Structure 1
Amino acid sequence: MQRSTATLKRDVANKLLRQIAAELGLDEQAVILNCMGIRAAESPARSKKQRLAIDMRTSANSRMVLTWHPIFEVTDREVWQEIATHGLEYHPVYDALIPRLSCVFCVLAPFDVLVRAARLCWALGLPLPARYRDLEAKIGHRFKQSHSLAQVYAEAERLEREEGPLVWNRGDAVRQHLGAGAADDYLARVALAA
């Protein structure tokens, strides 16, 4: 579960921090500030982290690494307000109302987000939902204790029958977080910048 974060983010950053300290060739311990853009609102586990802490795993005789989360207390609404106010680009998956850009079927995602992710895959012509469902059946292990990918798939199919294919528009994420007026202002701002 935590492996993707460790392998793709933290381990890569730690390797770079060790390299930087070695290249400095200092006679005394280097102090390195590692800034990471995580927020407490992203998950219960992240909310328990400290805004500033010594990274004991990466620190050594030649380096003391401090990990700082400068946007730790920023709320979802504040993030979207910054995006809207400054006409900033964001990944289009947010407009499909997927709250976090992560693995398609993230074990940390709630059921409704997994269902939406399956529908998003179908809208984009990706065969991932069936592959994951079939793999789960083949290995005989549920995706999560609370629900299987087969259940996610079935619910996504039900919604597709009732609502039709998933559709989304540019600005839907801003609309969801800040309202229609903010989305209209955002889209106008982006159009002017283009």
Structure 2
Amino acid sequence: MPLELITAADALLVHSSGGKDSLVMLDQVATWAHQVGCTDKIVVVHCDLGDTSEWPGVRDLAERQAARYGLRFIAIDSEDGLLGLVEKRGRFPDAARRLCTSSLKRDKANVLLTSIVTALGLDRQAVVINCLGIRSSESPARARKLPLAIDTRTSNRNRLVITWHPVLEWSETDVWERIATEGLEYHPAYDALMPRLSCVFCVLAGYTVLVRAVRLCWALGLPLPEKYTELEARIGHRFKDQYSLADVVVEAAKVEADEGPLKWRCGDAIRAHLGEDAAADYALRYFALAT
């Protein structure tokens, strides 16, 4: 089915956050496309949320990940990122109102979709595949997703848009095994044991993850904890209903006092998920490919 789907498509948009799931999804789709000689159909799309929202180097990493397969890469700027969106609206997003996803990613990607379809110059309805690297084990909502579905909201008389989740049934172990086996480059935030490469302070992240994010900011010399807590105070809206980001910063300071600054080594993500031998093998593969 994947080979037939890629062959039938006029264009495939591979949405890349630079994170681990979109990385293995990109590797899988590019592999399939290469088998049927259709890599020219792929456009890797990265929505850049800016340095007030994302970890350093994410955009460059996403571009390098696409370049590994010789694929076209387009980055979409989001103006002021999550921080600017919150400032403008006077409140943080939450699980029920994920304004960051709709305003900073989906809406902007749809504008690009229109330009790509126009450039095809077809005299018929174009078939466009939107490839998303989500996995069912991440949340109950994602577990209800279908591997393949027509996007009725985005489709129109000019384009039939199909949403495809190529790694929907992959486990987290599957993801790290593919990264390790293929020597794929991932973001060092994972080595600091951040579970996802989302916004630095994601409204969907748990308390302990946010505490670790604050500590990682301090280790990297990023001023984001101060920026976000100042914004909280200015707009009078807490980061989460249960607690403020200022509370998270206080807790992070306590952990730092007990444990010292956050430290990590290259390959710690592989070690944590697959063991020391896998980390050593990954280092050999990665550096061999890099040189």
TM-score, length basis structure 1: 0.90
1:185 alignment counterpart: 281
Q: Name the counterpart of 2:213.
A: 117
For 1:67, what is the secondary structure of its paired residue?
strand
Give the corresponding residue for 1:31.
127
Q: Does 1:68 align with 2:164?
A: yes
Q: Which residue of 2 aligns with 1:94?
A: 190
Given residue 150 of structure 1, which amino acid in structure 2 is its aligned partner? A
Distance 2:180 2:119 in 1: 41
* Closer/same/farther in 2, CA of residues 4 and 138 from structure 1, 3 Å limit: closer
5+ residue gaps in structure 2? 1-92
CA distance in 2, matches of 1:25, 1:138: 49
The 3 A distance-change label for structure 1 pair 183 and 23 is closer
Which moves more between the two structures, 39-48 or 65-74? Answer: 39-48
SS of 1:106's equivalent? Answer: coil
Is 1:165 the equivalent of 2:261?
Answer: yes
Match 1:132 to one of 222, 228, 231: 228
**1:6-25, aligned counterparts within 5 Å?**
6-25=102-121
2:250 is matched by which residue type in structure 1?
A
Q: Does 1:46 align with 2:142?
A: yes
Other structure's SS at 1:53 match: strand
Identity of aligned residues (%): 61
Instruction: Give SS of 1:103's match.
Output: coil
Query: Which residue type is aligned with residue 67 of structure 1?
Result: T
| Number of corresponding residues | 194
Aligned to 1:182, what secondary structure does the other structure show?
helix
What's the offset of the Cα at 1:149? Answer: 0.9
Change (3 A) 1:130 1:65: same
Structure 1 gaps of 5+ residues are none
Letter in 2 for 1:122: W
- C-alpha displacement of 1:108: 0.6
Answer with 38-47 or 175-184: which moved more: 38-47
Q: 1:82 aligns with which of 173, 178, 182?
A: 178
**Pairing partner for 1:57 from 128, 146, 153:** 153
Q: Report the more deviating stretch, 44-53 or 118-127.
A: 44-53
Change (3 A) 1:153 1:13: same
3-state secondary structure, aligned to 2:167? coil
The structure number with the bigger radius of gyration is 1
Q: Which shows bigger deviation, 108-117 or 44-53?
A: 44-53
Cα 1:27–1:187, aligned 2, differ >3 Å: closer, same or farther? Answer: closer
Of stretches 74-83 and 142-151 in structure 1, the one that deviates more from structure 2 is 142-151
Q: For 1:141, what is the secondary structure of its paired residue?
A: coil
Q: 1:134 to 1:9 in 2, by over 3 A?
A: closer
User: Does 119-128 or 178-187 show the bigger shift?
Assistant: 178-187
**Offset of 1:25 from its aligned partner?**
4.1
The alpha carbon displacement at 1:116 in A equals 0.3
Name the SS of the counterpart of 1:96 in structure 2. coil
RMSD: 1.8
